[in-house]
Amino acid sequence: MPTYPPLPANLTAGSQDAQAPSDGPAPSARASRLDVPDALLALLRDTTTAPRPDPQLEALTLAVSADLPVLLWGEPGIGKTAALTQMATTLDLPLTTVIASVHEPSDFSGLPVIGDDPAGNGIPMAPPDWAVRLVRAGRGLLFLDELSTAPPAVQAALLRLVLERRVGALRLPPGVRIVAAANPRSSAADGWELSPPLANRFVHLRWVHDADVVVRGLGGVWPRAVLPTLDAERLPEAVAFARRAVCGLLGARPALVHRLPSGEALRGGAWPSPRSWDMALRLTAFATAADVSRDVLSMLVRGTVGDGPGLEFLAHLDRMDLPDPEDLLADPGGAQLPERGDLRQAALDAVVAAVRARPGRDRWDAAWALLARAAETGAPDLLVVPATTLATLRRDDWEVPASIEGLASVVSVSQRADRAKVRALSVTRGDR
């Protein structure tokens, strides 16, 4: 049997150091030393919220209200988790946080449980405890954090959870909303690109910090997340408008119905598909019923179908708001033209197109009267193209209206200014 050297005297069972010090404070006294630090921590955590315009927070709450899965993209430490925690508190929704990267695929698809008669009854897939808690509560906010660090196998298991709200054999109740957060691959810990099927199931929102919000929050007042107020009387109108807008664009631009990006990074973001256009339609209806700003709608639509198709859709919405050219021709003196230059140009072009499609002396004169009114209330350079085109539609027996004389000088000056600009550019390029 081997022999070992004796233990030092200060580590023997009978030594003073091996026993609890007799002259130290009692356990209750030692615990009380943390009371003052805990009180200071409580004061630091004592913050409040106040209403404050915040487009990205408004976009998030609108998407949550529309029951669409949202994915917040932002750099680490920018406040994504804090914003969701505060939103869950404000909306009185139990918050359940699941770190996607530390779970196995079976945690989302379910664990097989063998019963008494598997041949007759099958093998059910048991859900995890967090899913059971959400079903028992009947509502809640499921927060899938660190989504971009989840490996491809876990992302595949998340497909059914995000789209069908199923975890194993369990279906989450309608009162559960899903929000995820991810860091860009460049700043994620061992990050992965999001798979295209999973990415196409989310509304992607870029979460950026606002210095004013951060300063006010560190001072103790954070912005309050409030669900949008929907006008009950506008619901049928909002649905009809959204359907007309999406169908109108896709009818004119069928190539936008489905466009899978070629780059791997772009496939992990927002891109157009029938599924994402359906989400865009829902968000447009909610935004119309809630009367949100164009900035909020822009964030949501571009975060659903991508920047390019989203901007085309927003431009299509602007054209839908243009006045009917027949109404303008019917009352040129009382016509209300758009203030924005591009929309005014489009309205005037539509009027000239209407005259060309159904020419007539009265309609031709009304179009000139409308151009004269536009010259009084807007930039004259917008009249060059419609006035030139309208002049070519004149027939020999139509007298030239008096309003053309005033427009002729305006158009002539604008054309000379354009030619001078072209000459100046040519000279500048020649000097180079």
| Domain's final residue, options 223, 250, 277 | 223
b/e 1-21 (16+ beta carbons within 10 angstroms → b): eeeeeeeeeeeeeeeeeeeee
Residue 296 lies in a domain: yes
In a domain, 43, yes or no: no
- Residue where the block lists tokens 């909306």: 91
Q: Which domain holds residue 354?
A: 325-431
Q: What is the reported pTM?
A: 0.73
Rg (CA), the chain: 33
Residues 412 and 316 reside in one and the same domain: no
Nearest to 286 by CA among 271, 301, 275: 301
The DSSP annotation for 218-265 comes to HTTEEEPP------GGGHHHHHHHHHHHHHHHHHH-GGGS----SSHH
Q: Which of 147, 150, 162 has the alpha carbon at shortest distance from 74?
A: 147
Phi, psi of 92 (to 5 degrees): 55, 50
**Domain membership flag for residue 187:** yes
For residue 429, what are its two tokens?
């390029």
Reduce the DSSP state of residue 108 to 3 states and report it. Answer: helix
Residues 61 and 133 in one domain: yes
Are both 197 and 241 inside the same structural domain?
no
Which candidate, 284, 285, 257, 262, places its Cα nearest to that of 272? 257
252 with 360, same domain: the answer is no
Domain boundary among 165, 196, 223: 223
pLDDT by residue, tens only, the chain of 432 residues? 555 555 455 444 444 444 445 555 555 555 577 888 889 988 988 888 887 788 888 999 999 999 999 999 988 888 888 888 888 888 888 999 999 888 888 888 877 776 666 666 667 777 888 999 999 999 999 999 888 888 888 888 899 899 889 888 889 999 999 999 988 866 655 667 888 999 999 999 998 888 888 888 888 888 887 888 899 999 999 999 999 999 989 988 899 999 999 887 788 899 999 999 999 999 999 999 999 999 999 999 999 999 999 999 998 898 887 888 888 888 888 888 888 887 888 888 888 888 898 988 889 888 888 888 888 777 777 777 888 888 888 888 887 777 666 666 555 544 444 454 445 455 455 555
Shared-domain flag, residues 169 and 299: no
Residue 144 · residue 167 · CB < 8 Å: no
Q: Flag whether 38 is in a domain.
A: no
Q: In what order do the strands lie in the sheet with 139-145?
A: 95-99, 139-145, 175-182, 70-73, 203-206
Cβ neighbours for 387, distance < 8 A, ≥ 6 positions apart:
371, 407, 411
* Domain count of the fold of the chain: 3
Same domain, 341 and 422: yes
196 and 251 share one domain: no
Same-domain pairing of 252 and 379: no
Q: State the amino acid at position 423 in one-letter form.
A: R
Give the whole-angstrom CA distance, residue 385 versus residue 424: 22
Q: Which of 175, 204, 223 is the last residue of a domain?
A: 223
CATH code (residue 66) = 3.40.50.300
